[in-house]
Structure 1
Amino acid sequence: MGSRKEQAEPLNQPEAGAHDEEGGDKGLEKTMTLFNGVSIIVGCIIGSGIFISPTGIQAQAGSVGLSLIVWVLSGVFAAIGAYCYAELGTLIRKSGGDYAYIMEAFGPFWAFIRLWIESIVVRPCTATIVALTFALYMLKPVFPDCDPPPGSTELLAAILLILLTAINCWSVKLATKVQDFFFVAKVLALILIICTGLWHLLSGRPQYWDSFENIFENTAKDFKTASLAFYSGLFAYQGWNYLNFIVEELQNPKRNLPWAIAISCSLCTVIYTLTNIALYTSISPDEMLASPAVAVLFAEKNYGYFAICMPFFVACSTIGSANGVILTSSRLFYCGAREGQMPEVLTMVNKQTKTPIPAVLLTGLLSLFYLLLSNNIYSLINYIQVSYWLAIGGAIAALFYFRRTMPDAPRAVKVPLVFPIIFFIGCMALVFVPVIGAPKDTAIGLLIMLSGVPVYLLFIAWKGKPKFIASFTKSITLFTQKLFMVVDATKEE
């Protein structure tokens, strides 16, 4: 496995970068097209958020008008961040997203802290939450008037996680086909809601316009309360930067990465805003506050016996989202191992399937582990929001660093500096607002992030480890290689 210096050299050598662009027989295969890229971003963004977040945003915003403004501004903010990441992704064509950018700009320690919190906590927890949402919606038609039997939700969620892990181990093409199919299914579900709402508005019946009379009535006056609505909106847009984690598998990333980001963010913002307008044609703000599953309520009011289709569509949405999280998260392990910050075996791929099987399996196993803690996962995700936005801010700081240290490097996308400045200020605001509003949760989140420090010191910084540790690690690596028929993707066969 190459050193960090060896990995970074191609960044300053266009010839080497061009070779990487063409691909080769080393590493992960370039199988993803522009459509695959769009489906991955949209598939990761549109998960359970759009079907759950409207209630949270309405509760914090207080009015329909401010709720719609929050949806639009959240999309614009995510698009600005994605625009900045397009420059980073086309300048440094290495998978790993902000982990790779922080590694190149600020060194291995800060990169590892980002890798630790993202790969060990954030991504597996996200996959688990999405899988649980899938299970709840799939069981709802079976148990419409009561709670599902104890353990049934967790069992169905576990089956989904195991199935998606197996698919991602078997084939990248199959995983992207799954992503493409459920991407289309979830977009069709939202288009159905949008068309229904548009039909209501065009009918001219007063009851469909009730929510839009006095549109800013009951708007939250407290800034802290209103800002929490923005948090809910940004949660629904999470996933805008996931394609950067697998940029090495994207065909012609110089062209396809910026286009995939532009298309996806624009599409999601338009769909989210129109979906919420449509929901308000049938659901009053008070009804929205009383229902955590607004899409199901909307279907019950408009589709009669066909309302059962909505839980199915939500399930499709969550399957695509969980698949996207597993697909991109395993690549994060892969990139960390390639940089020497994760066990070497996680950088290995199967030569037949071209998939990093050990990394995919670790992602799946961690997601299954968090099912045991499912009652506390939502709190855990809240705790790590501060570290999430710190890491995003760190990636934007890396953009400023590369502008200074690599001013003449070829950039397929060069963002006007006003955009990263605005986005960086926004990230810092998202870090400091919860410090004031929820200091306890913020402190716990920082402790979770700093738990990676002793791990770094013990397993990475400490070079004089006893020989038996290296021997044990090597035996585990050889066993895994034989079990899954994997080889080091960074070396010639």
Structure 2
Amino acid sequence: MEKGARHRTNAEKNHPAGSESKTGSGEGGVSLKKEIGLVSACGIIVGNIIGSGIFVSPKGVLENAGSVGLALIIWIVTGLITAVGALCYAELGVTIPKSGGDYSYVKDIFGGLAGFLRLWIAVLVIYPTNQAVIALTFSNYVLQPFFPTCFPPEFGLRLLAAICLLLLTWVNCSSVRWATRVQDIFTAGKLLALALIIIMGVVQIGKGEYFWLEPKNAFATFQEPSIGLIALAFLQGSFAYGGWNFLNYVTEELVDPYKNLPRAIFISIPLVTFVYVFANVAYVTAMSPQELLASNAVAVTFGEKLLGVMSWIMPISVALSTFGGVNGSLFTSSRLFFAGAREGHLPSVLAMIHVKRCTPLSALLPCLGPPSPPPPPASVKQRQDLGVSGEKL
């Protein structure tokens, strides 16, 4: 016990950012409050992982795996790989208790130049495109029911996506507590939607609809297997687990990060793996591999087959899931910009905190992305037609 306490004290001395005041103001001025408890920490991890991937990625995994059985194994293995990575990040998070996630770890371990490059790649490429495409996916699922026989208009898609980004940026600028409440609510909504899918799958199994789960049928291949295709299947599965490291971007705002960071990871990753595997089991109780491969949005097709007049629940669930994904991405990426500015790798104005609200307001605004020409209409439509959200880039 004494050794652990001594190690923790030394870590706090070496990295004072991890032991800031809970009141939001320390001796040096205003600081970010420690307002994120265990439940909200789990909400950030689960909410960032579960975007639109599980609703569309099963098609890509199955297509490249070549059989239902191998596809389910890939979902389990990618979950285990994610768990290993998350455990490594849990150790890094308590050893280097700074906000900023990957950037902070790369900078402290490999030096300032490596951290600078990692930061600017995220600032210029990763997060602006990430948030834009998640928001476009949200607007597509909201507007598509109003245009059942054609694509929604490009102007409408972009306008709704912009409104989504602006609204959630305002929420994050206003209050950390509001932002975490939004994240908690939409994470609960995602889990309820996936729980509905799993329950319907259990009902189907109870009715004897488990033809594709029997071993002789589950491993019946519908294409010639190859190492390259299996690797692509793993890539598709990994896409759906992306976001598992986002809690490390807000380490300094966690209540007792030495306990809650590992606990949140231990709870969230097994939960997501369980949900993903059994959601895929549910899908194949209602759809054959051929039907699943023909679908551009697997969960929507699943709902149409089993929910009847209530099938509208699935596209709304996907829309709400992506809306929560935008919030989680804004919340965490702003802390990356804040950490970079604090270290001198971005303009110092981005390290400023609102005096009354204790939010990194100036770091949130660049998360909307630098000015750039809109993507050509065909590229957006091709993404939507393929069911690819691009959420975890």
TM value normalised by structure 2: 0.89
Aligned-partner Cα distance in 2 for 1:306–1:375 = 31
Aligned-partner Cα distance in 1 for 2:174–2:190 = 24
Report 1:83-482 matches (<5 A).
Answer: 83-205=87-209, 208-210=210-212, 212=214, 213-218=216-221, 220-366=224-370, 369=372, 371-372=374-375
Alignment: residue pair count: 370
Aligned-partner Cα distance in 1 for 2:298–2:218 = 19
Percent same amino acid among aligned pairs? Answer: 45
Supply the AA of the counterpart residue of 1:214.
N
Tell me if structure 2 keeps the 8 A contact 1:291–1:297. yes
The residue aligned with 1:58 is 62
**SS at 1:141 equivalent:** helix
Per-residue deviation at 1:159? Answer: 1.2
Tell me if structure 2 keeps the 8 A contact 1:37–1:243. yes
Aligned-partner Cα distance in 1 for 2:22–2:155 = 49
Aligned-partner Cα distance in 1 for 2:128–2:284 = 34
Higher relative contact order (CA 8 A, sep 6+): 2
Per-residue deviation at 1:57? Answer: 0.7
Per-residue deviation at 1:221? Answer: 2.2
Aligned-partner Cα distance in 2 for 1:340–1:375 = 40
1:13 aligns to 2:16 (yes or no): no
Aligned-partner Cα distance in 1 for 2:15–2:283 = 52
Tell me if structure 2 keeps the 8 A contact 1:52–1:294. yes
The residue aligned with 2:72 is 68
Deviations 1:338-385 (A, max 9, x none): 00000111101101111111111110244x747546765899xxxxx9
Tell me if structure 2 keeps the 8 A contact 1:132–1:157. yes
Larger Rg: 1
1:38 aligns to 2:42 (yes or no): yes
Distance 1:261 1:373, change over 3 A: farther
Deviations 1:109-167 (A, max 9, x none): 00011111123211221211211111111112111222212322122111111111111
Aligned-partner Cα distance in 1 for 2:188–2:241 = 18
Aligned-partner Cα distance in 2 for 1:165–1:232 = 30
Aligned-partner Cα distance in 2 for 1:369–1:34 = 38
Tell me if structure 2 keeps the 8 A contact 1:57–1:67. yes
Distance 1:316 1:369, change over 3 A: farther
Deviations 1:386-435 (A, max 9, x none): xx8xxxxxxxxxxxxxxxxxxxxxxxxxxxxxxxxxxxxxxxxxxxxxxx
Distance 1:164 1:96, change over 3 A: same
1:27 aligns to 2:31 (yes or no): yes
Per-residue deviation at 1:10? Answer: 7.3
Aligned-partner Cα distance in 1 for 2:242–2:322 = 14
Deviations 1:260-280 (A, max 9, x none): 011110100000000000011
Distance 1:245 1:370, change over 3 A: farther
Aligned-partner Cα distance in 2 for 1:104–1:294 = 42
Tell me if structure 2 keeps the 8 A contact 1:68–1:273. yes
Distance 1:88 1:280, change over 3 A: same
Tell me if structure 2 keeps the 8 A contact 1:39–1:179. yes
Tell me if structure 1 keeps the 8 A contact 2:15–2:96. no
Distance 1:279 1:47, change over 3 A: same
Aligned-partner Cα distance in 2 for 1:135–1:22 = 38
Aligned-partner Cα distance in 2 for 1:10–1:319 = 40
Aligned-partner Cα distance in 2 for 1:21–1:61 = 50
The residue aligned with 1:446 is none
Distance 1:269 1:370, change over 3 A: farther
Tell me if structure 2 keeps the 8 A contact 1:211–1:284. no
Question: Which ranges of structure 2 fall in alignment gaps of 5 or more residues?
Answer: 1-8, 384-389
Deviations 1:209-248 (A, max 9, x none): 2464521121652101110110011110000000000100
Distance 1:318 1:374, change over 3 A: farther
Supply the AA of the counterpart residue of 1:215.
A
Aligned-partner Cα distance in 1 for 2:212–2:77 = 24
Aligned-partner Cα distance in 1 for 2:212–2:36 = 46
Supply the AA of the counterpart residue of 1:216.
F
Supply the AA of the counterpart residue of 1:217.
A
Tell me if structure 2 keeps the 8 A contact 1:61–1:220. no
Per-residue deviation at 1:316? Answer: 0.9
Per-residue deviation at 1:250? Answer: 0.7
Aligned-partner Cα distance in 2 for 1:156–1:185 = 21
Distance 1:82 1:202, change over 3 A: same
Aligned-partner Cα distance in 2 for 1:221–1:344 = 53
Distance 1:370 1:123, change over 3 A: farther
TM value normalised by structure 1: 0.71
Supply the AA of the counterpart residue of 1:298.
F
Aligned-partner Cα distance in 2 for 1:15–1:104 = 11
Supply the AA of the counterpart residue of 1:20.
E
Per-residue deviation at 1:12? Answer: 7.0
